[in-house]
């Protein structure tokens, strides 16, 4: 597929929080990463408002194991600490395959649609481990990105068969990626086959709910946006040094 990147992301712990436990109290992780969590990782590798990243597949490399840890978060009502138990995934590792498409809702950024240069920068960003810090679901779970070939190496769930995870949070649809006025949440029913999960595209999710109305953030050349031509020149200037 065009404009596709492949990488492995891993860490010591992950917490892909079930929304039911996210508002406070004891948090519990999903068994697998959500589409939104993986999209956030890809956007930490390389992102521009000109692009929309689509997560194609994720391969679960290590066995799904959990570990309960005692945490002392700050209470919402005051500055006092409380004792909570969070359930994390232990030693997670995932191979990810994703591609980018141009955001057709962003006609104001049409001048930044240079496919080859965006792809070159994205590939280089994968090789460098990302442009921003990588987190596996939450900030305390540091992640690490390395370039790989999707499907290479043995995975724990190879030839394991099919596993369904029931209804799960899929992701958010922001105004500039949807109808330009609504902030929406999506749910889907992912299934793992021999360790590989093929995610549905956002527009194909079974359940979509509008959370609130919102506005599209403006980006203007030279003010809060650097064109891909300028980025390409600065990034690949390092090679010539």
Nearest to 212, CA basis, from 170, 178, 168: 178
Q: What is the pLDDT of residues 94-148, one digit of tens each?
A: 999 999 999 999 998 999 999 999 999 999 999 999 999 999 999 999 999 999 9
Instruction: Please give the pLDDT value at position 22.
Output: 66
| C-alpha 149: how far from chain center | 18
Query: Which residues, listed in sequence order, are joined to residue 29 by a DSSP beta bridge?
Result: 17
pLDDT > 60? residue 66: yes
Within a domain: residue 187? no
Q: Tell me if 45 is assigned to some domain.
A: yes
CATH code (residue 99)? 3.30.70.2660
The tally of domains found in the chain comes to: 1
| Average pLDDT score over the chain | 91
Please report whether residue 81 resides in a domain.
yes
Residue 225 has pLDDT above 90, yes or no: no
Q: Is residue 173 part of a domain?
A: no
For residue 189, tell me if it sits in a domain: no
pLDDT score recorded for residue 94 = 98
What pLDDT digit, counting tens, does each position of 192-216 carry?
999 999 999 999 999 999 999 988 8
Of the pLDDT bands very low, low, confident and very high (cuts 50, 70, 90), residue 236 is low
Q: Which residue range is the domain that position 133 belongs to?
A: 4-168+217-240
202 within a domain of the structure (yes/no):
no
- Is residue 143 in a domain? yes
**Would residue 234 count as lying in a domain?**
yes
């Amino acid at each position: 597929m065009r404009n596709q990147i492949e990488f492995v992301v891993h860490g010591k712990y992950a917490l892909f929080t079930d929304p039911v436990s996210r508002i406070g109290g004891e948090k519990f992780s999903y068994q697998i990463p959500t589409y939104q969590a993986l999209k956030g990782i890809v956007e930490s590798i390389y992102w521009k408002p000109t692009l929309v990243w689509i997560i194609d597949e994720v391969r679960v490399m290590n066995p799904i194991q959990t570990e309960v840890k005692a945490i002392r978060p700050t209470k919402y009502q005051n500055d006092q600490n409380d004792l909570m138990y969070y359930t994390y995934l232990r030693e997670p590792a995932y191979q990810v395959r994703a591609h980018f498409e141009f955001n057709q809702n962003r006609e104001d950024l049409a001048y930044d649609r240079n496919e080859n240069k965006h792809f070159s920068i994205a590939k280089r960003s994968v090789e460098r481990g990302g442009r921003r810090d990588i987190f596996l679901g939450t900030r305390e779970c540091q992640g690490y990105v390395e370039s790989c070939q999707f499907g290479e190496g043995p995975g724990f769930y190879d030839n394991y068969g099919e596993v369904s995870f029931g209804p799960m949070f899929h992701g958010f649809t922001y105004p500039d990626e949807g109808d330009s006025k609504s902030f929406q949440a999506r749910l889907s029913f992912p299934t793992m086959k021999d360790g590989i999960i093929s995610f549905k595209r956002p527009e194909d999710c079974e359940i979509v709910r509008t959370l609130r109305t919102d506005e599209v953030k403006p980006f203007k050349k030279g003010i809060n946006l650097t064109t891909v031509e300028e980025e390409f020149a600065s990034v690949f200037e390092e090679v010539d040094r």
